Amino acid sequence: MLVLWGLLLFLPILGLYLWFYHGWGCFFREDAIQPTQPLVTDKRARDKVLRQGFSQDKVPASLDALVIGSGVGGLSVAALLAKAGKKVLVLEQHEQAGGSCHTFQQHGYEFDVGIHYVGQMHENGMMRIIMDQLTDGQLQWNRLADDYDFVMVGPRQYLISAGKRGFPERLKKQFPGEEEAIDKFVAMMKKVARHVALLGALKILPQWLSLFLLRTRILHMFSPIFWFSESSHQDVLNKLTSNKDLQTVFSYVFYGVPPNDSSFMINSLLLHHYKRGAWYPRGGSSEIPFHMINVIERAGGKVLVKAPVTRILLSNGRATGVAVKKSGQEICVSAPIIISDAGIFNTYERLLPPEIKQKPEVASILSRLQYGMGCFLVFVGLRGTSDELGLKSINYWMFQGADLNSLMDQCSLSTLDEFCENLPLMFITSPSAKDPTYNLRHPGRSCMTLLTMAPYHWFSEWKEHQPRHRGDDYYNMKMKLAQKMLERALKENPQLEDKVEYMEAATPLSNEYYLRAPKGSMYSAEQNCSRYQSDIIVKMRTQTAVPGLYLTGQDVFSSGLAGAVHGGLLCACAVLNRILYLDLIIMKKRLKRQRMKKRD
pLDDT in tens, 459-513: 999 999 999 899 999 999 999 999 999 999 999 999 999 999 999 999 999 999 9
The string of DSSP letters for 198-252 reads HHHHHHHS-HHHHHHHHHTTTGGGT-SHHHHHHSBHHHHHHHH---HHHHHHTT-
pLDDT in tens, 281-336: 999 999 999 999 999 999 999 999 999 999 999 999 999 999 999 998 999 999 99
For residue 7, the model assigns a pLDDT of 39
For residue 596, the model assigns a pLDDT of 81
For residue 6, the model assigns a pLDDT of 42
User: pTM of the full predicted structure?
Assistant: 0.94
pLDDT in tens, 218-268: 899 999 999 999 999 999 999 999 999 999 999 999 999 999 999 999 999
Strand-strand pairing, 109-112 and 103-106: antiparallel
In what side-by-side order are the strands of the sheet with 338-340?
Answer: 302-304, 88-91, 65-68, 338-340, 549-551
Per-residue pLDDT band at 591 (split at 50, 70, 90)? confident
Q: What is the C-alpha separation between 258 and 412, in angstroms, rounded? A: 10
pLDDT over threshold 50, residue 184: yes
pLDDT in tens, 443-456: 999 999 999 999 99
Q: Which residue ranges form the domains of the chain, and what is each CATH number?
A: 45-140+282-368+533-599 (3.50.50.60), 163-276 (no CATH), 370-525 (no CATH)
pLDDT in tens, 367-408: 999 999 999 999 999 999 999 999 999 999 999 999 999 999
For residue 25, the model assigns a pLDDT of 65
For residue 595, the model assigns a pLDDT of 81
> For 414-439, what is the mean pLDDT?
95
For residue 207, the model assigns a pLDDT of 93
For residue 201, the model assigns a pLDDT of 93
Q: Could you tell me what percent of the chain has a pLDDT over 90?
A: 89
pLDDT over threshold 90, residue 16: no
Task: For residue 323, give the nearest of 143, 103, 575, 66 by alpha carbon.
Answer: 66
The string of DSSP letters for 371-407 reads BPPEEEEEEEEEES-HHHHT--S-EEEEESSS-HHHH
pLDDT over threshold 70, residue 9: no
Task: For residue 130, give the nearest of 585, 486, 599, 590 by alpha carbon.
Answer: 585
For residue 14, the model assigns a pLDDT of 44
- Residue pair 340/347 in contact (Cβ under 8 Å)? The answer is yes
For residue 378, the model assigns a pLDDT of 98
Q: What is the C-alpha separation between 119 and 167, in angstroms, rounded? A: 14
- Residue pair 193/305 in contact (Cβ under 8 Å)? The answer is no
Per-residue pLDDT band at 600 (split at 50, 70, 90)? low
Average pLDDT over the chain, rounded to whole?
93
Q: What is the C-alpha separation between 492 and 238, in angstroms, rounded? A: 31
pLDDT over threshold 60, residue 8: no
For residue 550, the model assigns a pLDDT of 98
Question: Residue 269 carries which side chain, given as an amino acid letter?
Answer: L
For residue 30, the model assigns a pLDDT of 86
Q: What is the C-alpha separation between 220 and 210, in angstroms, rounded? A: 12
pLDDT over threshold 90, residue 21: no
